[in-house]
Structure formats: C-alpha cells, structure tokens
Structure 1
C-alpha cells in the first residue's frame, strides 16, 4: 500500500510531472511513507533535513518566529504540494516550524539519492526546476495582489485557493477562523465579520470547524485573483 501511495504522490507531483516512468520507479523504490497525527511536529527551525516531502493526504501548517518573538503563520500546504526542496538542495537548515493539521501522510524521498539523480541527468533537473519555478511565480503573484486588496477580497481569494488546493468536490474547507486570521495577518473578529457578511450574501455557509462554499462564481468575483490557481 505504501509503495502505491508513494507512486501516486510522486507521479502526480508538479516536480516530477515530466519525468519518465523508469525514473519515477527509482524514486518510489527508495521512498517511504510517514503517517503523522494532528498536531505532530514535522520539523522546526535549525534542523537539517535530508529529505524531500510530498504531501499525499492531509495538510501542514507553516509558521515563523518574528523578531519580536511572535508566531507568524504564513502558509498551509495541502495534498499534492511539496516541502523542503530549497533546504535540501542548499544544505541549509529549516527556518520555519511545520506542524500537521489533522492526520497527514507524507512521502519521504531521500535527499542524497534525489540529488545524485539530478547530477547524473540534467534533463531531470531542468524538468524539476520548471515545476518549482511555476510555484514560485504563483506565490509572487499571490503576495503582490494580497498586499493591496481589501480584507474581504483577500479572504475570498484565500478561501478559493484553499478549496482548489484541497480538492473537496463538495467545496468544503476544513479550517478554523483563527487560522484564517493568522494567514491574513488580522484579528479573528474581523475575519468572523467578513465571513458572516459573505454568508448573508449566500456565498458560503459556516459550520463548526469548516466553511462550505455555496457560490463559487460569486466568491471568485469577490476575490483578488479572478480564477483560483493551485496553492503555491
């Protein structure tokens, strides 16, 4: 079962989308699958981690400590995303704290083996970095737009991005309002006020621990990004 999960995660990852079946099979052979429970710490700042992680299921919360020692949650990563490529290739330590949101399965690819494949075959390196660059461009566009939008527009954009990334057919997003407030760098009360307004407009419905998007078109019209792109 683990090898099947690893094969699916690797073959569907944007990083390895252009790799051959034979090269993907080599990665599957050396990879393993980690099952972590909600709240489990994956890695903290200062750790040297010799793995590339692919999220097969579940999600991860990433945060930093600011100069004033306040925690700043800046990213959620969902199934299909990857983690650790930069530190792996540079040999530098992680600078953020990564914690599991709910039960999470991660495919763990040994860094030395992956780096050896890239050194031996430049074609593989070019294909992988093309995928990495696509995510980087999406991230820049997201932050550039979010820096000038209203709270309602930024909230609508964030909800659309999370829904697209988490892949729920029923448009259900499992997230707490506290988490939304952290990601938007605002107060929970402000987020709650905007969510209630969107609920009155029929755009979404609020349930305990989750948000149901009732009108995706209306949400997109309110958002900064006209069409939600995959979460970078």
Structure 2
C-alpha cells in the first residue's frame, strides 16, 4: 500500500481514522496476495467525452484499451494493448498491492491536466488531500461473471471546495470512485473517473472506466 502510494506521490503520516479508511480503500494493502504465480488479470479501459471548453470539431472519439496484470514471483507486470500494439507500463512489487489503482489515478490526472490546462502538481496535491479526507461509501452488488458479488464503493470529489474551480471547466465536479471486494482476484472490480460537461461545449462529460474482466464475461 505505502509503495503504491509513494509511486503516486502520497505519504500518509498521521491522519484521522476516517482519512485512513479512505486511503486504505483506494490503496488496498496486499490485494495481490491471492494471485498465483503466472496468473494474469485482465481489465478493460474505456475513456470518452470531454469536460473542458473545446470546439466540437476537436472532440475526442471514445478510446478503448486492454490492461493485463501478470504476477511472476515477487513482481507484478502491468501492460496495455491499444490498437493492436502492446506496451509495458511498469513492474511493481507484488507483495504490496494492485498497481491498477496507480494507473487509474495517473490517467485521470493526465486527462484533467490535458483538457483543463492545469498544473499536474496542483491536481495531484488536491487528489492527495481528498484521499486523506472522508469518502462517500456504499455497499453494492456487482455481477462478476455468473456470480453476484457484494462490494464496497468509495467516492471522492477532490475539487468540490477548491478555490480554483472556476478555471477547471467540468473538472471542478470530478468524481473518483473505486468498487472493491475481497471476493475477486486483485480486489478491484472497477475504477471510474467522471466529470460533467463544461459550460459552452456540446461534448458529453468526461468518463474513464477500468473494469475487471471475469473469466467468460465482463464485470457489470
């Protein structure tokens, strides 16, 4: 957990219990412990929409990619495939947690910085602060393959009270949500970042979703 958090640039020192719960839900310690050597987890990523003022002619088509997380000994190797081209994302210690959450956070941060034109450092710091605050929580039932899985969904809104909201377009309403359960391999069922459409744009709001693929069928 702390290794993954350090990769994202977050160091948790002393924080209230509620903050620790938020942090621990997003960065789940030992979430790859039940994955056998040579086993691979597959996730689908779909990104669509735009959340900053932008001419309609420049609107981005939805993009899809597949992520594979292979556990090999003490290491977890994360790769992605987009348009038939495979690319290595990185190698991480398998003992600490699932790096899919780090990839999710960095993807949302990168997309917001690109669209809204803000500083990645500023955005990252606001997300850090949200991870050290109380999250919205709910118990949900998710279809995983042929089974209904009981899961927990935690949601944070990093910019809800930010003084710079007026310069962020729709990203002022950015929502980051993870759905987790210890009943599935890797513990993350889905990770979703979304933001409403900005005023003055005809594009739909921004959304990127990473979803664990069950053997024989996707998570719903």
- The answer to which structure has the higher strand fraction is 2
Q: What is the TM-score when the length of structure 1 is the normalising length?
A: 0.23
> Relative to total residues, which structure has the larger helix share, 1 or 2?
1
**Greater C-alpha Rg:** 1
State the TM-score, normalizing by the size of structure 2: 0.24
- Higher RCO (C-alpha 8 Å, min separation 6): 2
